[in-house]
Structure 1
Amino acid sequence: MTTPHPPKVAGISPLAPAPAHTSAPAVPTPATAPETAPAAPSASAVSPAPPAPCTLVQDRLAGWVSDLTTLHELTERLARTADLDDALREVLRAGASLVGAGRGLVTLHGDGDAGHPVTVALGLGRADLGHIETIPHGHGQDHGEDHDPGSAAPGSYVRLLDDLPPVGDRSGTAHPDIPGEDDLDPRHREVAARLGYAASYAVPLESPASSPNTESNPPPAAGRIGAAVWLYDEPAEPTRRQRHLAGLYCGYATEHLARLLELTHARETVAALYEELLPTRLPRVPGVRLAVRHRPGPRGGGDWYDALPLPEGALGLAIGGITGSGPEAVAAVGRLRASLRAYAVMEGEDPVAVLSDLELLLRVTEPTRAATALFAYCEPAERKVVVAGAGHCSPLIIGPGRAEYVETSLSAPLGMLACWEAPSVDIAPEPGETLLFYSDGLLHRTGDTMDRAFTRLHSAAASVPRAARTDPDAIADHVLRTVLPEDASPADGEDVILLVAHFT
């Protein structure tokens, strides 16, 4: 006879059957009956032995260990993400595996002026998100009832997240059978049928309840920062165990996402400040046309450039970098660039004097930093350029008959020696030739050694199409496309700057 299987516990494997050596109790016989062996009971009279209490405990412990192991693996994967979009996609993938769904989306609302809502989808395209956004507010309510705005994800424009539970309740909201729900908005059923999902489960991204405020246990400050919703292709609903695991995971994910949100907002602020410190527009000087390309690094690097008109139709071009990254480096860049502008106006005809003054200022105001710089004093009408460099990469000159690096003197960066001085170099560009100034981040982002990076940059400059050699913007775009691979990523937070000066 086949022993029936006991029910599952917490979705784990079924309980083990009763041990084989457990025998049925003996059937008592009358005292007058002859001492003979009792007849074996019929199969219908024997009931299966109940599972031993220790087996139930072992299965429950096994289920808890399995759940803890799953949460540990998923939270470890989330903790390794350092980018907000990557973290959101990881939350979607982990939540889909926990609740047994195939698709979903997550949205984070902006905090005040911190930015617009951020939405990332799993298995949904842009058009699908557009359809979801057309679902009216309060789709989970009757049309005659007022929708409670406090239950929605603040700042959310994704209508699937409108009927979340109130703040403090992380249990989530399920719609197990969207086509069969009579009180659901017809537009929601229409969108669900168009996109091919029949059930949904939404969970708020909310940190756990605050603990007592002590020095050793400060309360979390994330609160509710958004929500996630997962979609089922067939009518379904997560079990109580799945809801519990999803709530635990989303509580941890909220803290991680809140940190990344704060970091992203800080980086955007630094990047905006950085852009304001650099020239907002390039000057127009007869005889020369300018173009610039700037790709900032992820942490706000210390590279900078400048182009300023000087007396008597001259032009000053500068490019350089300062050690470090972040807000401190950005502030140092602002001070360095402002000082160079003043020195260029006073003694721009002598680039060596400009960099010498800059080096003295750097040692006094930024004693812990070093900087590279290159300054060029251009007289377009005279076809004359005087260049001095302090530890910076030599510029490139390209034209119909040549593509070569300018041989500037080898010198140390500013702030590295007790007294900096190096000779300048005179360049006489012909009409139609172009000077390329660039930051070392352009070379580093190639991923090659410096020798190969210089070779790649030279090949890119030499291969500029003939039709594009009179357009500095086209030259800059061609060089960047050729030098940087498509999957090039910022290296150590460095910026990429390419300053192009075409002499007409």
Structure 2
Amino acid sequence: MLDIPSRVRVHVEPLLAAQIDMGVCDAIEQYAPVRKPHAMNAPHPSKVAGIDATVPSPAHTVAPAPAAPGVPQAAPPVPADPGALLQDRLAGWVSDLTTLQELTERLARTASLTEALQELLHAGAALVGARRGLVVVEPCDGLGPDSMTGLGLARSDLGHIETVPRDCMAYGRLLDGPPGGEREIAQPDLFSEDGLDPRHREVAARLGYAASYALPLCTDRDGALGAAVWLYDEPAEPLERQRHLAGIYTRYAAQHVARMVEVERARACLTTITEELLPSRLPRVPGVQLAARRRSGPHGGGDWYDALPLPDAALGLAVGSVTGSGPGALAATGRLRASLRAYAVMEGEDPVAVLSDLELLLRLTESARSATALFAYCEPALRKLTLAGAGHSPPLVIGPRRTEFVETSLSAPLGMLACWEAPSVEVTAEAGETVLFYTDGLLQRTGDPMDRAFARLHAAAASVPRPLRGDPGAVADHVLRTVLPDGLDEVDSTEDVILLAARFD
């Protein structure tokens, strides 16, 4: 109960105080719009006996129920103090505001659609007093992403739910109904419903839920986005106050989910563009085996690779990186890679001429960008490579008897000199050796200075187990996991990683 000092206590007439019947959620909506969160409060105690402690019920004074005829009545209760009644109501409002603030803060900190949906399910379950639930995302514009996420439900459980006819499930009725239709669907006792679908009855009995409460996820700008359903183990339904709190929270959550849907679409678009700019498959050339590995950041970077057959059974291998990130860098990467392929077909035997032409094109068409590149003219029958590099890291030769970097000439990146030209070098590999090309992102993701990053890369290549050395893909995987341990090769990073491995027979 709030302790209001006597100097600021509000004096309310008894009759006026008795007529005050302002709902909790009316007060929340009127006096407490959702604002930017400042700090998290301490976590609430766990739920006890099906009652969620995170949503304490405010104290309200209600009229006593009339006694049955013939039953002696007790003495009438002493009228409640109007000031105490007002303080109890204020305490309930403050508790509800605190709960909604904490839950919206947690939701606002989620950085992906999956995290947002999981937080939505957890918060909604706390508000309505449920233990399990699921949320279905199906944007009404049909552009996706479509997903079903469960709380306390395994993937197989979600599969069972999907076998129920869609129009028999609460989420299906919310999503497929007319715009502005049902705003909530409560099924307090599924097994007592006369028209319950037999398949729904079977699935509910298998999964052990007897009641459900569903709310739509929609915004004025994006329309319907999905629906959330919470499941009860026994016949039950949320109280009116819990419904109001869940409705307020769900309306805010729908806006956050809409933003996460846009982010997910942008990431998927960048991923698709990046994949289309790289080779769909590596060529098969006698005498050499190829494998490539790529890790892209969330914004789409400018790292690329290529492998193309050339005349006289030769092979062109290239890796490179364009400065910047995002759609502009991806477009520049596509133009640069396409130009290099054309120059490699015309004069691939001279890698210096290929990179010189590429530098001139970049300077004329992409004057605001620079790029690094490494091109190798490979003759598999002779196991010989002729290399030229422009500001790129040297390749690494991995074999049974040696693990060493190829000594290439030091050169500036493309686009940084008025006229680029650097001598090429020749490398002859032995049978069973693998030449590993890579981009600088592999070194930069380590967070170490460049000399230590090169030492780590060399140690990782030297530690490739002997049984794996016959597979260039296994060699690339081992190097990637060893140089970037603890999942650093999988997490989102601003640095892209490219590995291209060529093993000679």
The TM-score with structure 1 as length reference comes to 0.80
List alignment gaps of at least 5 residues for structure 2. Answer: 1-17, 25-55, 62-72
Give the aligned partner of residue 20 of structure 1: none
Is 1:80 the counterpart of 2:125? The answer is: no
| Equivalent runs, 1:203-282 vs 2, <5 Å | 203-207=215-219, 220-282=220-282
How many angstroms apart in 1 are the aligned matches of 2:463 and 2:137?
45
The 8 Å contact of residues 389 and 409 in structure 1, kept in 2 or not, is answered as yes
| Equivalent runs, 1:309-328 vs 2, <5 Å | 309-328=309-328
Q: Deviations over 1:237-294 (max 9, x none)?
A: 1111111121121112112212221221222122212211211222233322211122
Match of 2:180 among 163, 168, 183: 168
Match of 2:198 among 175, 179, 186: 186
Equivalent position amino acid for 1:14 in 2: A
Give the aligned partner of residue 47 of structure 2: none
The 8 Å contact of residues 472 and 501 in structure 2, kept in 1 or not, is answered as yes
| Equivalent runs, 1:382-397 vs 2, <5 Å | 382-397=382-397
| Equivalent runs, 1:94-493 vs 2, <5 Å | 94-111=123-140, 114-115=143-144, 117-139=146-168, 151-154=173-176, 167-168=179-180, 171-207=183-219, 220-446=220-446, 448-488=448-488, 489-493=490-494
Structure showing greater radius of gyration is 1
Q: How many residues align?
A: 444
The 8 Å contact of residues 58 and 89 in structure 2, kept in 1 or not, is answered as no
Q: Which moved more, 1:238-247 or 1:377-386?
A: 377-386
TM-fit CA distance, 1:137: 4.0
How many angstroms apart in 1 are the aligned matches of 2:449 and 2:125?
42
- In structure 2, relative to structure 1, the CA distance for the partners of 1:96 and 1:452 (3 Å cut) is farther
1:76 match: secondary structure: helix
How many angstroms apart in 1 are the aligned matches of 2:80 and 2:190?
40
Q: Deviations over 1:57-112 (max 9, x none)?
A: 33333323332332222222222222111111111111111111111111101555
Q: Which moved more, 1:94-103 or 1:186-195?
A: 186-195
Q: Deviations over 1:404-441 (max 9, x none)?
A: 11122333322234443333222111122110011222
The 8 Å contact of residues 398 and 434 in structure 1, kept in 2 or not, is answered as yes
The 8 Å contact of residues 375 and 389 in structure 1, kept in 2 or not, is answered as yes
The 8 Å contact of residues 295 and 495 in structure 1, kept in 2 or not, is answered as yes
How many angstroms apart in 2 are the aligned matches of 1:13 and 1:201?
23
Is 1:497 the counterpart of 2:498? The answer is: yes
TM-fit CA distance, 1:56: 3.0
The TM-score with structure 2 as length reference comes to 0.80
The 8 Å contact of residues 145 and 261 in structure 2, kept in 1 or not, is answered as no
How many angstroms apart in 1 are the aligned matches of 2:411 and 2:454?
18
Q: Which moved more, 1:78-87 or 1:165-174?
A: 165-174
Tell me the C-alpha RMSD between the 2 structures.
2.9
Is 1:60 the counterpart of 2:89? The answer is: yes
TM-fit CA distance, 1:477: 3.0
2:213 match: secondary structure: strand
TM-fit CA distance, 1:363: 2.2
Give the aligned partner of residue 46 of structure 2: none
1:404 match: secondary structure: strand
Q: Which moved more, 1:460-469 or 1:401-410?
A: 460-469
2:499 match: secondary structure: strand
Give the aligned partner of residue 59 of structure 2: 14
Equivalent position amino acid for 1:495 in 2: D
List alignment gaps of at least 5 residues for structure 1. Answer: 1-5, 17-43, 142-147, 155-164, 208-219
The 8 Å contact of residues 9 and 60 in structure 1, kept in 2 or not, is answered as no
How many angstroms apart in 2 are the aligned matches of 1:263 and 1:347?
43
The 8 Å contact of residues 300 and 494 in structure 1, kept in 2 or not, is answered as no
